[in-house]
Amino acid sequence: MSRKALALGAAALLATGLFARLGVWQLERRVWKLDLIARVERRLHAPPIEAPPPPAWPTIGAADEYRRVRIAGRFDYRRETRVQALTELGGGFWVLTPLRTDQGFTVLVNRGFVPPAWSGHEGSAAHPGAERVVTGLLRLSEVGGAFLRANAPQAGRWYSRDVAAIAAARHLGRVAPYFIDADAAPESGGYPRGGLTVVRFPNNHLQYALTWFTLAFMAAAAVVTVGRDEWRRRR
């Protein structure tokens, strides 16, 4: 076999193995994604539990996101923060309000979506309101900002729900490292509108696997073609 044919055959054989391995990896990712979706679905439909207190904060991670939680406290409307949002209701803001608990810590609660013209009572309440019980989904902090748009705390422009940055800008003290997306509880005037959390996990791994396996088949066919042509040439 000529060096050229040998090199082409080796390259095609290597590509076959690589593409096949990538196809298998996508199938493994599909199994993982289906398991993740099933676990999140169980969390979404489970009865709410108490929101994690300070001793549990160091262990909070992805396994806790979208867990239904409940917490009681008083809203501090003076320190609300609006974060830009795009929802099924259009463009506007998420309203994140500190909820101060009797245990001495604060949790940011995303009370829901408001349109740009909503005035509400941000900054108008002189004192925290009556005790409220909030039920919603535990969410992990969105650090830094959105794609190509960094948060600008000094200018009051927020593009992501970055708990630590908001807590520092609003001088909130001891704040939980997560926030809560409130359920769709009715609010006066209809806003903020809660219950708009989008829980969607793209699952295209089967299509990706088929693409890689097709490429592996094509590379394998190239190996066969090179070998057949070389065999014919030698005959």
Predicted local confidence at residue 187, as pLDDT: 65
Contacts with 38 (C-beta within 8 Å, 6 or more apart), sequence order: none
pLDDT of residue 126: 44
Q: Residue 165: which H helix or E strand, with range?
A: helix 163-170
Residues in Cβ contact with 193 at an 8 Å cutoff, skipping those fewer than 6 apart: 89, 112, 113, 114, 184, 187
Residue in this structure with the two tokens 């406290």, named with its chain if needed: 73
Q: What is the dihedral of CA 59, 61, 67, 69, to 10 degrees?
A: 40
Among 109, 102, 85, residue whose Cα is nearest residue 167:
109
**pLDDT computed for residue 118 by the predictor:** 83
pLDDT of residue 2: 63
pTM for the full model? 0.72
How many whole angstroms separate alpha carbon 222 and alpha carbon 231?
14
111: closest CA among 76, 157, 66, 152?
76
Q: Measured between alpha carbons, how far is residue 34 from residues 39, 41, 210 in Å? A: 9, 11, 17
Would you state the pLDDT for residue 197?
81
**DSSP code string of 22-79:** HHHHHHHHHHHHHHHHHHHHHHHHSPPEEPPPGGGGGG--GGGTT-EEEEEEEE-GGG
pLDDT of res. 184: 85
Token pair recorded at residue 76? 């501090």
Amino acid letter, 100: R
Beta bridge partners of 97: 109
pLDDT per residue as tens, the chain (235 positions): 567 667 777 787 888 888 889 888 888 888 877 776 777 777 778 899 999 999 999 999 988 898 999 999 999 999 999 999 988 888 999 999 999 998 889 999 999 999 988 877 544 444 456 889 999 999 999 998 877 789 999 998 999 999 999 999 999 989 999 999 999 876 656 889 888 887 776 778 888 888 988 988 888 887 777 667 666 776 6
Tell me the domain boundaries of the chain. 17-41+204-234, 47-190
Contact assessment for residue 77 and residue 125, using Cβ atoms and an 8 Å cutoff: yes
| pLDDT, position 188 | 58
DSSP state, 172?
A: -
